[in-house]
Copies of this chain bind each other. A is one copy, B any other.
């Protein structure tokens, strides 16, 4: 489109009037800078209202712009690792008008979603997958004879995940158009996140070496950046020069051309680096340095406080790191108390110190606290190593990210019967982060592990009791799972315990566990008011099931199970099987989550899957009348 359509006489750029991403290529550098300002404004105004990831998106404004200038999405495919930094990408690919709806029910998703736009190349939400996905896309292009590029954008935090290395290892040997952008915002820099972070820090600090290198790349690769044949000649020359003047990097060792570090807030430098990267027609890694939160006044006025927390909690999906009382902080504080009594207790996190409430432990017992970076597989097996020496590792992790550790839990921990405790945070519906983050699959996964004990407390008091039991009394692998956020105010009013709670009723029993016990309890109250007496059975130990649970259920004509987790492989399915085998002849219904739950508030998600008090009342009445 002609520039007149979106740049007025005074030179002001209108984001809304642009045809995106097509119009980006025609902008000059000054216009790009102006556009970046507009984008930052939109980001700040929107995200401070809707919630979501602000700092990481502010950091990639220029990078995203440059990517869409140099690559032609959706023909070229851009895969955003973790995905929470794709807001600018959404704005620049025709979703500017709907940006205010982000993370809200029916609105834009907070993560890339191919069904939302052809520009979203791959579902991302979990870390360190982008190089593997882009490697597959690039190989498909090669097979199909397509000249297109596959680009993976990976934060340095995600570079600690093993999948990133598996991807590099396989990508580095191809001869495909694979470009990896390492978005290095130093978020992984802390004493806890390991050698890769240290390595990147070393690369950044050794200016002479890297700057010289980039200067050579520039001198040989530019003016003008041209097609394959000439670039090939240049490349050979460069390679010879390079051997004499430079050391190799880890990425070059793995088969990638290394370019960098590039100033990720300089569109001109980015343009040039990406053009050079394209000219190679072989795997290239572009190391881009960005500043998280770039351009946001509060961050600039108080960078220490502002950057301090998100910088470490690299994969945190919500800026909910307050020390307000919530399940995570109750867990974290209790663990400190336990660790005071017992020096064997260690705490492990995979880059989620604040999200899981382990900051208290980290401060109190730094020698027994391990932040392994985004490396859930290592976290479990490392914990197993600690356990073999008689220590008691407690790994606190979000339900959805624990999926990475299935094999390690089964093979490295359970076969040997090692004593390890999982704090499974964000278990159940998480809401606005949507299907990539709902914690509804941990129960089928965990219960498949022989000899495990799984607790799902409803209240803070129960959480404390379950954690103490898991750490102090259990022998093998135990998991204590609890939801995101605050405990409901409503409780059954009974004495907290780690086993189960039964409130007697007449013909109908409502069985449940965890946070939605409050919804089931409220439903039972409402039904009682309407003359329908329902018993309530709240499980706190959800696996293995106590024989007494079976006996109680068998006393009722109707047993309805309500489960904030997936139906398939859920506790409701297991109880049904046990009831049938034990000769139960009543009516049984299992109300649970069916597959992936789209983004919306937790309350709305629960309502949609039929797990709020009013939906439960409706269901029971239907059964009663039907």
Contact = CB atoms under 8 A, between A and B. Distances in A.
Interface of A: 77, 79, 114-115, 121-123, 125-126, 129, 132-141, 143-144, 150, 160-173, 191, 194-196, 198-199, 202, 247-250, 253-255, 346, 367-368, 370, 372-373, 375, 377-378, 381-391, 393, 400, 403-404, 406-408, 410-412, 414-416, 435-436, 441, 444-445, 447-448, 450-451, 566, 568-569, 572-574, 576-577, 579-581, 583-585, 587-590, 594-596
A382 B132 contact: yes
A122 B375 contact: no
A297 B141 CA distance: 47
Nearest to A150: B385
- With a 10 A CB-CB cut-off, give which of A138, A171, A381 has the most chain B CB atoms: A381
A166 B160 contact: yes
A255 B198 contact: yes
A195 B169 contact: yes
Contacts of A137: 385-386, 388-389
A581 to B, nearest CB: 6
Given A126-B411, A139-B385, 11 more contacts: A123-B412, A133-B388, A134-B385, A135-B382, A136-B388, A169-B375, A172-B194, A196-B254, A198-B255, A444-B569, A576-B580
B416 A114 contact: yes
5 closest Cβ contacts across the A-B interface? A136-B385, A162-B162, A172-B195, A450-B595, A140-B389
A451 B569 contact: no
A540 B435 CA distance: 30
B247 A122 contact: no
A593 to B, nearest CB: 10
Nearest to A196: B169
Contacts of A138: 385
Number of copies: 2
A375 B198 contact: no
B194 A408 contact: no
A404 B406 CA distance: 7
Contact of A167 (B134, B378, B391, B590): B378
Contact of A162 (B165, B386, B393, B566): B165
Contact of A169 (B114, B171, B194, B595): B194
A166 B136 CA distance: 22
A581 B590 contact: yes
B403 A411 contact: yes
- With a 10 A CB-CB cut-off, give which of A137, A165, A373, A596 has the most chain B CB atoms: A165
A288 B353 CA distance: 38
A391 B140 contact: yes
B573 A577 contact: yes
Contacts of A381: 129, 132-133, 136, 163, 167
A372 to B, nearest CB: 5
Nearest to A435: B415
Given A412-B129, A573-B577, A136 B382 contact: yes
Contacts of A163: 162, 377-378, 381, 408
A544 to B, nearest CB: 9
A143 B573 contact: no
A483 to B, nearest CB: 19
Contact of A166 (B122, B129, B372, B415): B372
Given A123-B411, A163-B378, A195-B173, A581 B574 contact: no
Contacts of A373: 166, 169-170
Contacts of A162: 161-166, 377
A257 to B, nearest CB: 13
Contacts of A372: 166, 170
19 contacts: A132-B385, A136-B388, A137-B386, A139-B382, A139-B385, A140-B390, A162-B163, A162-B165, A162-B166, A169-B196, A170-B378, A173-B194, A196-B254, A199-B253, A406-B445, A414-B596, A576-B576, A576-B577, A583-B587
Contacts of A165: 162, 164-165
B566 A448 contact: yes
Contact of A441 (B250, B375, B383, B410): B410
Given A114-B416, A162-B161, A445-B406, A122 B169 contact: no
Contacts of A387: 136
Contacts of A161: 162, 166
A153 to B, nearest CB: 15
Given A389-B141, A590-B581, A415 B596 contact: yes
B248 A133 contact: no
Contacts of A77: 388
Given A373-B169, A447-B568, A199 B254 contact: yes
Contacts of A590: 577, 581
Contacts of A199: 253-255
A355 to B, nearest CB: 18
A254 B346 CA distance: 25
B403 A410 contact: yes
Nearest to A402: B407
B407 A404 contact: yes
